[in-house]
Structure 1
Amino acid sequence: MTHLQAHIEGIGFWTRGLPSWEAALAHAADGALVADAPSRPSPQLLPANERRRAPDTVAVALDVAMAACQAAGRDPATLPSVFASTHGDLGITDYMCETLAGDPLALSPTRFHNSVHNAAAGYWTIGTGAMAPASAISARESSFAQGLLDALAQLASGDEAVLLVAYDGQAAGPLKQMAPSDGLLGAALVLSQQASPGHLTLRAQLVASGGHQDATGPLSKLASANAMAPMLPLFDLLARGHGSVRLVAGPDHDLLIDVSSAELARG
């Protein structure tokens, strides 16, 4: 497979103690956490009443997506988007299973509405008025790598820029044994075809499995128990600004990613 390439125009990040990419960069540099960080995101895209009712997974996805678009200076309504989540919202899934087993008529229409895997993508496209394509991807521990491949393929097919959003939340009930996930984690990238000074360049290639992703960086260690933790070695790499990393992309393949500055990439 030939290399797929993108330039990173904007980054969004949220986990408990690190409510922004700037906070994540500071943590990567000195281990600091934001002392008064909120316990959950409050995405300004939603009206106040919907903001309170939105599941944590939707809230974190919208928060990081908007942060990445703002950092890129892009209108969210113009961007095709890829939303990657390993499990969707396991808390709501547990509620649905328990309610259907015990008292089906008590099922909440709102929680049912939020149980679908593309709930975050739906909130995003409605809230931003985006008419561009939006997809929702789940591929177990390969969810982020497959989402990134999807976004890169869209760029290679001619899209000017693509928004990639990845997130997972807290597992609940019996599902914790089968699909463990702790805490809340989300990140987003605005990827584009156009190189620009100061932006990082990402090149990716599918390779045979065999290497091991470096999960020893500060962000990887901080949120290692979340189901979306397989993406964190890349974000540790983005914090450093250069280097390479492997992400699990399937049973037999890894995604080998190289990151460099736009200036180095042209050299």
Structure 2
Amino acid sequence: MSRFSANIDGLALWSPTLPGWTVARSALRGEAAPADPPLPIPPPSQLPPAERRRAPQTVALALAAAHEAVAACGHDPAQLLAVFASAHGDLPVIDELCRTLVHTPTLVSPTRFLHSIHNAPAGFWSMLTRNGQSNTAVSGAAHSFAHGLLEALVQCQAEQRPVLYVAYDTAAVGALTNTTRSQGALAVALVLAPQAGPARTARLDWQLRPGATEAPAARSPAAQALGRNAMAPALPLFEALAAAQPARLVWPLSAHQSLDLLIAL
């Protein structure tokens, strides 16, 4: 199969124990401990105060990673294509809506309903950055990170334009814990570009492979501590980027196809 390439011009990782790429890189290398106590997810500072208070966890989490990655690369955020991926969307808001429908259905909030929509973080990103470019919201259950990454890589290759990729998930709450196992909060972001920019971190050489495979496993204690989050499959990639060493990673996309990635410096 053909192999294609994309450059990483910016990246970010945010969780309450790894709040930002500087902290995360040191922890993933084993050079520093994760934040203790964990930090709260920062509210989106770009929003007006009233909207900032109402912003759900997924929006705050995704925007924290998105803004850090874009700030690191120097690209104009208004010109970036964007792909947002989440396995479950905003589980706390969905739980709140379901409980309201059961107990007081006439009090369902239209605002909270809008927050529950899977592409809410992508919509907030577009409005805050005045980005009129196309964006895509992806969900692929346990394979959500790999499917979102593939979508971003394909757009970068096909359009020959930089693409922001943001992947995020939060914890299940309430009755949803009986069906959904995601715990904690984790967001990662990459700015992928067809040509290397001045802030280039690495090159990703990728191809599709037939057949199934096992997802790569996190190795560092800092990453393993986040292993129950639905976006944990992203962590081996960020461990490799933190180590600044060439690596090969393969993620399952389905029972019949895999995404094969070579990380070159």
Counterpart of 2:5 in structure 1: which amino acid?
Answer: Q
1:160-217, CA deviations, whole angstroms, 9 ceiling, x for partnerless residues? Answer: 2000000001101221121111111101000001124652001122222134412223
- Counterpart residue number, 1:205: 207
| Cα distance between partner residues in 2 of 1:65 and 1:221 | 23
Q: CA deviation at 1:24?
A: 0.5
Which shows bigger deviation, 213-222 or 104-113? 213-222
Residues 218 and 48 of structure 1: CA distance in aligned 2, closer, same or farther (over 3 Å): farther
SS in 2 for 1:112: helix
- Counterpart residue number, 2:39: 38
- Counterpart residue number, 1:182: 183
Structure 1 residues 113-128: aligned runs within 5 Å = 113-128=114-129
- Counterpart residue number, 2:229: 226
Q: CA deviation at 1:222?
A: 2.3
| Cα distance between partner residues in 2 of 1:148 and 1:47 | 31
| Cα distance between partner residues in 2 of 1:36 and 1:229 | 21
Q: CA deviation at 1:115?
A: 0.6
Counterpart of 2:184 in structure 1: which amino acid?
Answer: G
| Cα distance between partner residues in 2 of 1:45 and 1:142 | 31
- Counterpart residue number, 1:246: 250
Structure 1 residues 1-267: aligned runs within 5 Å = 1-29=1-29, 30-35=31-36, 38-196=39-197, 199-207=201-209, 208-241=211-244, 242-261=246-265
1:36-74, CA deviations, whole angstroms, 9 ceiling, x for partnerless residues? Answer: 763112322322332222111110101110110000011
| Cα distance between partner residues in 1 of 2:227 and 2:36 | 20
Counterpart of 1:234 in structure 2: which amino acid?
Answer: L
| Cα distance between partner residues in 2 of 1:233 and 1:193 | 23
SS in 2 for 1:213: coil
Root-mean-square deviation (CA), in Å? 1.6
TM-score, normalising length from structure 2? Answer: 0.93
Structure 2 unaligned runs (5+)?
A: none
Structure 1 unaligned runs (5+)?
A: 262-267
| Cα distance between partner residues in 2 of 1:176 and 1:250 | 25
1:197-254, CA deviations, whole angstroms, 9 ceiling, x for partnerless residues? Answer: 6520011222221344122234430211111111111111111122111222223222
| Cα distance between partner residues in 2 of 1:89 and 1:37 | 20
Q: Is the 8 A contact 2:78 2:129 kept in 1?
A: yes
| Cα distance between partner residues in 1 of 2:188 and 2:145 | 10
Q: CA deviation at 1:121?
A: 0.5
Q: Is the 8 A contact 2:251 2:260 kept in 1?
A: yes
Q: Is the 8 A contact 1:19 1:41 kept in 2?
A: no
TM-score, normalising length from structure 1? Answer: 0.92
Q: CA deviation at 1:146?
A: 0.8
Runs of 4+ off more than 4 Å: none
Counterpart of 1:5 in structure 2: which amino acid?
Answer: S
Q: CA deviation at 1:96?
A: 1.5
| Cα distance between partner residues in 2 of 1:185 and 1:175 | 18
Q: Identity of paired residues, percent?
A: 41
Q: CA deviation at 1:159?
A: 3.2
| Cα distance between partner residues in 1 of 2:24 and 2:179 | 30
| Cα distance between partner residues in 1 of 2:178 and 2:52 | 30
